[in-house]
Chains A and B, each alone.
Chain A
């Protein structure tokens, strides 16, 4: 009962904050509301017995990635009237996008409510997970069954860091060549 109440409250906060991300004019406000969305999603992960995912949601998403976003917003120093024009370059872009989004959400709702989700049940019930520990299980899976994707992920992050540095440093390299 308490979990249901918590779900409704956090779900409402998530939806309202997500709407604010889209409809706020100032990108800084959008970023702040996105942080709130991610934190309330972390609460929902705890309700789903995924404590480790909730922790890295707060640390990686709300911490690292959003700091990067806020940093870039600060770096570019945009004045809001400059970016968001009032006119639609494509005819009726905003109304038609909202209508299409409404159709999409209705379709997702109908499909979700009418489908019986079945699949082979795994061995990790919440009781067995709480005996071993969620983080321990994630670690065990990462270093046994998913060890190859794990290594690929490290290479991907390395490539991303290199790519980001190269892209952002372009100007300086040019000056050196001259």
Chain B
């Protein structure tokens, strides 16, 4: 039996890698992938706690997170395509129209 703390630490490391990726990358698509990475880290934590507490609710939550992630990916990538049409770039440093 693997200690469940290991899973939580792995989940924390994955979440941190995703957060660092959002901070250091400029490509909007890669930033999007890093957000997916963070969602996956949270899913791992949910499944770990569901296993620890002998409950199914955590797994149901993962199901809903995946639904939201799919919706988010569809809309987000459509937004990226729309931005690329207008500005011919996906570099987030150049997309600063709404910056005051």
Chain A residues within 8 Å of B, Cβ to Cβ:
3-4, 7, 11, 14-15, 18-19, 21-22, 27, 30-31, 34, 37-38, 41, 44-45, 47-50, 52-53, 56-57, 60-61, 64-65, 68-69, 72-73, 75-76, 78, 82-85, 89, 93-94, 97-98, 100-101, 104-105, 108-109, 112-113, 117, 119-126, 129, 134, 137-138, 141-142, 145-146, 149, 153, 156-157, 159-161, 163-168, 170-171
Of all chain B residues, the one with the shortest Cβ separation from A6 is B2
Q: Which residues of B contact A50 (CB under 8 A)?
A: 47, 50-51, 59, 62
Q: Which residues of A contact B72 (CB under 8 A)?
A: 160
A141, B37: Cβ atoms under 8 Å?
no
Beyond A52-B59, A124-B56, whether A15 also contacts B6 by CB under 8 A is no
B2, A4: Cβ atoms under 8 Å?
yes
Beyond A89-B93, A138-B59, whether A27 also contacts B29 by CB under 8 A is yes
Per the CB 8 Å criterion, the residue count for chain B at the interface is 72
Known: A108-B13, A108-B15. 8 other contacts (CB 8 A): A7-B7, A15-B10, A41-B40, A76-B80, A104-B19, A125-B54, A145-B60, A153-B67
Report the bound CA distance from A85 to B33 in whole Å. 19
Q: Which residues of B contact A53 (CB under 8 A)?
A: 43, 47, 59, 62-63
A83, B91: Cβ atoms under 8 Å?
yes
B24-44: CB near A (< 8 Å → 1, else 0) gives: 111101101110110010011
A45, B47: Cβ atoms under 8 Å?
yes
Instruction: Tell me if B's interface is mostly helix, strand, loop or mixed.
Output: helix
Q: Which residues of B contact A170 (CB under 8 A)?
A: 82, 85
A94 to chain B, nearest CB (A): 5
Beyond A101-B20, A105-B12, whether A117 also contacts B51 by CB under 8 A is no
Number of A-B contacts defined by CB within 8 Å: 231
Beyond A11-B10, A78-B90, whether A72 also contacts B54 by CB under 8 A is no
A22, B25: Cβ atoms under 8 Å?
yes
Report the bound CA distance from A157 to B43 in whole Å. 19
A9 to chain B, nearest CB (A): 12
CB < 8 Å: which of B5, B15, B70 contacts A160?
B70
Report the bound CA distance from A34 to B17 in whole Å. 12
B81, A167: Cβ atoms under 8 Å?
yes
Q: Which residues of A contact B5 (CB under 8 A)?
A: 112-113
Q: Which residues of B contact A44 (CB under 8 A)?
A: 7, 10, 44
Q: Which residues of A contact B29 (CB under 8 A)?
A: 27, 69, 72-73, 76
B59, A68: Cβ atoms under 8 Å?
no
